Structure 1
Amino acid sequence: MSAYDRATTKLAARTEYEALRTRRPELFVNPPGAAFEILLDRADQQRASDEMSRVAVAAGLPESTGDIGVVYRDAYFSLVRDAVRFANGRLGTYIRIVPASASGGAAVLPLLADGRVVLLHHFRHADRDWHWEFPRGFGDPGEDGPGTAARELQEELGVHVVDFTYLGAVSPDTGLRVGVDHLYLARIGTTQLTERPAQGARAEGIDAYLAVPQAEFRAMVADRRISDAYTLSAYALAMAQGLLEAAKG
């Protein structure tokens, strides 16, 4: 990359950063006692960036590893690298993921009228593996939690539900990702569920549905056949709130 292109890239990252600060000022607050202070002064930012670039190059990494700002953005999230002052006074950078939707995504525990729980067999690109999990997805900008939940049920399970019970919020990864996603329980009729996923769901990596009695679902959790964090969180919240059957014996 030429010096001109490098400078242009750095400027674009910082310009996007300032735009994000304007749209989402709550993401740049330094509360009393914060262990990592976000540096907003340009001179401090530059010192932090220079230090991290020096460390990166010494470790065989690209100089751009120290760049400050929105270093990547798409329709779903931004990858943000902040300049920070650590608790020991050292300057450096800290990276975080900021979803495009400020309201967060949603996951839904589908509960059939006969008490069975519905799971999706979903291939996930990130770890290149199949998972049994509940419907879930990113929120669209301007969409609220119930709206996201309803859309994900329609897209992934092929059912239309407007009756949701709110279970609570979950922070998927407080060490990396900003914000929370919202968890719901949806009661659906047994006749609404199709035998096989529709073409749209299959295109998203869903190849099967599984409706299991709650005792079998608990066994799947206990046997570690379910590892999806959203599914386990929704299950824990629903159990704690008395919305699912208690284990017998």
Structure 2
Amino acid sequence: MISERLSQDQRRAQRLARYDELRAERPHLFVNPPEVPFEILIDAESQAAVADECAARLRAQGKPEEYGDIGVIYEDAYVIALRDAVRRRDGSLGPYIRVIPLVNAVGAAILPLLPDGRTVLTRHFRHGLRDWHWEIPRGFADPGEDGPATAARELLEEIGVPVSGVELLGRATADGGFDDIYLARIDVSQLPADGTLEAFVEGIDGLRLVDRDEIEKMIMAGELTDLYTLAAFAFAVARGVL
């Protein structure tokens, strides 16, 4: 029992240590604005209280207690999952989980636009949804990349088109952060006949060239549901690009 307790304490300490590193690296992700409905608690007593309450509940359900740990609970080459201890509006304490990009930079989504006004959509299999989706190229930033560099790289990887510059259309906000939406003006002759190896590995197996009317029909028919693609279309229409 003592060894199990020490193991739990060590695990929690490691996760909170990484959590504190993130707080120092990205303080904007841990702010508590006035009248915030979920106040992030960073004092050790509150964090331990929330973790203990979660552990007791999970233990009663026959689930691993570590599922209730506070701090960084998962990290890979792309994302970090963390569980905050928070105080709700009614004064109660509890956990709140969120996922953030590993690289502290804005991701990018790119609307490829042809001279005739058509755009390029990729047929992309999304593992999380276990289904195929029509969408524009997008992805996380690599270390040291800014938004335009990320956009250019993703465009090259997913549809095989090199670009020397992109135009910022706007910014889309999601629960885990935000991404910049760009416009890339390309020529149909730049599109490779057989796609790229990177696209094949990433689960992209086709392209579709569509004009504004076709996009609207796809939206109304439920064929186009990707949030970043919908945001890019809205920005392009609002700015008079389409």
Within 2, Cα distance between the matches of 1:193 and 1:83?
Answer: 49
Within 2, Cα distance between the matches of 1:97 and 1:67?
Answer: 15
CA RMSD across the alignment: 1.6
1:161-203, Cα deviation, whole Å (9 max, x unpaired): 123221111112x2xx1x2111011110121112221222111
Within 1, Cα distance between the matches of 2:227 and 2:34?
Answer: 31
Amino acid at match of 2:53: E
Within 1, Cα distance between the matches of 2:164 and 2:44?
Answer: 48
1:65-214, aligned counterparts within 5 Å?
65-172=67-174, 174=175, 177=176, 179-214=177-212
Identity across matched positions, percent: 50
Q: Give TM-score, length-normalised by structure 2.
A: 0.93
Amino acid at match of 1:100: L
| 1:60, distance to aligned residue in structure 2 (A) | 4.0
Structure 1 stretches of 4+ with a deviation exceeding 6 A read none
Q: Secondary structure at the match of 1:197?
A: coil
Does the 8 Å contact 2:109/2:138 carry over to 1?
A: yes
Question: Which shows bigger deviation, 46-55 or 142-151?
Answer: 46-55
What are the ranges of 5 or more consecutive residues in structure 1 without an aligned counterpart?
245-249
| 1:101, distance to aligned residue in structure 2 (A) | 2.3
Within 1, Cα distance between the matches of 2:239 and 2:211?
Answer: 19
What are the ranges of 5 or more consecutive residues in structure 2 without an aligned counterpart?
none
Within 2, Cα distance between the matches of 1:239 and 1:155?
Answer: 26
| 1:56, distance to aligned residue in structure 2 (A) | 2.8
| 1:25, distance to aligned residue in structure 2 (A) | 1.3
What residue number does 1:221 align with?
A: 219
Q: Give TM-score, length-normalised by structure 1.
A: 0.91
| 1:136, distance to aligned residue in structure 2 (A) | 0.5
